[in-house]
Amino acid sequence: MLFGMSPLVALIPLIIYIVLAFKDINPILNVLLCVIITAILTNKPLLSMGSVIAESLGSFLSLVGFIIMLGAALGAVLKKTGVAENIVRGVMRKVGINTEKKAIISSMITSMFLVALLGTLAGANAIIAPIVIPLVAVIGITPSALAAVLMGAGITGLFIGPFSPQVVTIMGLTNLSYTEYLISAGLPVTVVCLIVTYFMTLKIQKDTKGIYAYENIEKVDMDVKVSKNTKRATGVFLIALALLIAYGIAIKSGASYAIVVMFTSAIATGLAAGIKLNELFETIVEGASRMMWLFIMFVLFNPFITFIEESGAFKALVDILKPLLDSGNKIVFSLVSTLTGIFGIGGAAVAQSVVMDKMFKEFVQGLGISSGLWAMIILVGSQITSFAYPEADMLGQMGLARSKDLKNMVKLGISIVIANVILIFVRSFFG
């Protein structure tokens, strides 16, 4: 450490990062500033940062960033081929939208399903919203209610999507297979969020009907004739994805297998739709480029966390927390670590997961916390932050739903936070 300071001083850049994450600052600039500050505090030569970044390109975080880029590329292909819209219309048509409850349920399923497939909340709901709004507006669903659906149900797609960034990250940190992850963490948290979202949306719909309403909405034809190319591409996409996922589960593939799935699905779908290879790859590159900023952020985030860890800051923090957790009580640890993740760590969910794992891993091993419980704690601690504060994800879904009702979104968020903390409390009794 610089000037022989306490290792705890190395945590200052992490605090700065968390504070700036909730401010209107470019996330790459945020991480870059914190990397530089951390490097100075830990006596790292700034002129050797090139080799540090080169090493970071081979890190797990960089892999996750690349997978996110490929997810955006796949989304671009699905949009260009019409497959995404075809899936949305298909789900809405199957469930039905002739009552408020059916409209809410079909919107929830559609959002969750497409987010799970694409691995992005904003990207998937941006495709869904223009199609869903005219359909639910006829039934009388309010913008406030649809915003709650897009946020509450949509984000659960990130909990269960086999190659969503958060799922890949947690599987990598806990060494759980996809099936083990789903059983121990993904599905329980998803079910809790869906139940709370459904009943809160019904309440929001009741409270806002007659106060907020969609106006001047363009009509969408649910019986639009889908081209043969789009039908064929949709079938190829769903079959290819199902086979690739099944194969991945059978061979217990790691995170890197997601690259094969994303590329193969995108290429197969594009070719099935009749798109020429040159145009297809231009679409893939264009879609991936939209997430380039996140990839760069993760490349920079790896040395940021590595520098802090090498300084001994996390170990020093653990020593401070030991009196609180030395009782060996798994319940106390589960609640403290979860609440720290939800309210104490900001930024991208993947980055939050890595920070939580670095901070608490020693306690996890010492207390004998199971990988399943730890996976659930990381999932709730990193993802439920989106409900704890009215930040980018929440405001973004409000914008897509054309809602300005922040009050009810905050109520939804608080309800989901409370429900998931209770879930962690109950789950901690079983280790």
Q: What is the C-alpha to C-alpha distance for residues 337 and 333, in angstroms, rounded to an integer? A: 6
Q: What is the C-alpha to C-alpha distance for residues 359 and 321, in angstroms, rounded to an integer? A: 10
> Taking CA 296 as the corner, what is the angle to CA 295 and CA 301, rounded to the nearest 5 degrees?
95
Mean pLDDT by 10 residues, the chain (431 residues): 80 85 82 91 85 88 85 88 87 81 93 87 83 86 95 94 88 91 96 97 95 77 80 93 86 79 92 94 92 87 86 80 69 88 76 87 85 95 87 84 91 95 93 69
Residue-level pLDDT at 218: 64
Cβ neighbors of 198 (< 8 A, separation 6 or more) are 104, 105, 108
Residue-level pLDDT at 222: 63
State the chain's maximal CA–CA distance in angstroms.
71
Residue-level pLDDT at 148: 96
Q: What is the C-alpha to C-alpha distance for residues 356 and 383, in angstroms, rounded to an integer? A: 12
CA quadruple 16, 18, 22, 28: dihedral sign: positive
* Nearest CA-CA partner of 30 in 206, 22, 208, 394: 22
Return the bridge partners of 212, or none. Answer: 209
Residue-level pLDDT at 347: 63
Side chain identity at 320, as an amino acid letter?
Answer: I
**Residue 317 C-beta-side C-alpha neighbours within 13 Å:** 22
Cβ neighbors of 203 (< 8 A, separation 6 or more) are none
pTM for this model (two decimals): 0.82
Residue-level pLDDT at 60: 83
Could you tell me if 10 and 1 are in contact, meaning their C-beta atoms sit under 8 angstroms apart?
yes
Q: Which residue has the tokens 């399903």?
A: 113
Task: Collapse the DSSP code of 329 into the 3-class scheme (helix H, G, I; strand E, B; otherwise coil) and give the result.
Answer: coil
Could you tell me if 111 and 70 are in contact, meaning their C-beta atoms sit under 8 angstroms apart?
no
